[in-house]
Amino acid sequence: MTETVKKIAVMTSGGDAPGMNAAIRSVVRTSAYYRTECIGIYRGYQGLIEGDFTPLTARSVNNIIQKGGTMLKSARSKEFMTKEGRQIAYENLKEKGIEGLVVIGGDGSFTGGVVFNQEYDFPVIGIPGTIDNDIYGTSHTLGYDTALNTAMDAIDKIRDTASSHSRLFFVEVMGRDAGFIALNAGVGAGAEEILIPEEDLGLERMLESLKKSKRSGKSSSIVVVAEGDKSGKNVYELANYVEENLEEYEVRVSVLGHMQRGGSPTCFDRVLASRLGVKAVELLIDGKTNLMVGLQNNEVVATDLEKAIKGINNIDMDLLRVSDIMTT
């Protein structure tokens, strides 16, 4: 390790995710370990443009590993999408003597980092932080495991009341473009049907499956729907559609929403955050740039940042088959 980088900065950007605080802590403490100064940037790229910086020492990040949200706040910056905005951001970094940037966020945040690097040759390393798990180059993004368990716990609770009243519940979980939460929380909570953006199974199939489930003696049912599912109907329309077509069902809807983005990170997310933070700082100190750190086969690896943005983290479609078999 060359240890020539004397000052770096860290920010969280885009939608927050549990484990972001643990990642900030790891970046700050790894910097302290290598005697590299670390600056925190508030509100992502917006704070970078506004010069909203704070020095962070190993003690600034005490007692945050267990906390949800992000102590550095987060934002989606429109100004950073302009050339003028990025110019100001660069000048702010130069003025403070910052030599490298760790961006904790999703693909939108990484796109900003890649453009910034292309324009100013400024070293950027990404840490994947989003509950959606939709980033290529890592089996898990920060916050995904926590969100998954939050969603599963919520579905378990809904199952209690669904069963007491013999009702069918449509439960909408987050995932604008990806069905990781829906598919895995759905299988984990024993959902009868799971609708995801990656596969349009068709409404007829859902009706058939619900009819079958009633015939087989089930009194309550849960259908998990990802926000971005491809049926062409939102969760309320789906519920109406089933009520109109299957009179035997009394239907209710529950939208879990942003509760899935909050809460204390699971042990898995805290450990992942700690590992990725160490690697991110070590790469910067080593003079590396335009990389994203991630987990593959339980090893921490680096992927080209552009590849991480453009690639697709494929969902395990066999889980749909498993889910199908489980509803027998």
CA distance 41 to 96: 12
Q: Which residues pair with 38 in a beta bridge?
A: 8, 56
Residue 206's nearest CA partner among 256, 170, 161, 155 is 170
Among 94, 157, 165, 176, contact with ligand F6P (rule: CB under 6 A): 176
Cβ 130 to ligand F6P shortest distance, Å? 5
CA distance 53 to 73: 12
Which is closer to ligand F6P, CB of 150 or CB of 290? 150
Would you mind telling me the total number of residues written for the chain in this entry?
A: 328
Among 99, 172, 193, 227, contact with ligand F6P (rule: CB under 6 A): 227
**What are the structure tokens assigned to 243, written together?**
């009520």
Which is closer to ligand F6P, CB of 15 or CB of 19? 15
* Count of residues in contact with ligand F6P, rule CB under 6 A: 10
Binding span for ligand F6P by CB under 6 A among 43-51, 130-138, 232-240, 318-326: 130-138
Catalytic site residues? Answer: 132
Cβ 55 to ligand F6P shortest distance, Å? 29
Cβ 129 to ligand F6P shortest distance, Å? 10
Binding residues among 156-175 for ligand F6P as defined by CB under 6 A? 174-175
CA distance 36 to 285: 8
Which is closer to ligand F6P, CB of 176 or CB of 310? 176
Binding residues among 9-48 for ligand F6P as defined by CB under 6 A? 15
Mapping DSSP onto H, E and C, the string for 78-117 reads CHHHCHHHHHHHHHHHHHCCCCEEEEEECHHHHHHHHHHH
Q: Does 269 bind ligand F6P (CB under 6 A)?
A: no
Cβ 224 to ligand F6P shortest distance, Å? 14
**What are the structure tokens assigned to 227, written together?**
């926000």
Q: Does 100 bind ligand F6P (CB under 6 A)?
A: no
Which is closer to ligand F6P, CB of 92 or CB of 130? 130
Among 132, 192, 193, 198, contact with ligand F6P (rule: CB under 6 A): 132
Q: Does 130 bind ligand F6P (CB under 6 A)?
A: yes
Question: Within the chain, where are the H helices?
Answer: 20-33, 44-50, 83-95, 107-120, 144-164, 180-188, 203-215, 235-245, 267-285, 305-310, 318-326
Q: Sort strands 221-226 and 291-296 into parallel, antiparallel or unpaired.
A: unpaired
Binding span for ligand F6P by CB under 6 A among 43-51, 54-62, 124-132, 187-195: 124-132
**Which 8-state DSSP code applies to residue 261?**
G
Which is closer to ligand F6P, CB of 123 or CB of 137? 137
Torsions phi, psi of 194, nearest 5?
Answer: -135, 125
Torsions phi, psi of 97, nearest 5?
Answer: 75, 25
Binding site for ligand F6P (CB under 6 A): 15, 106, 130-132, 174-176, 227, 261
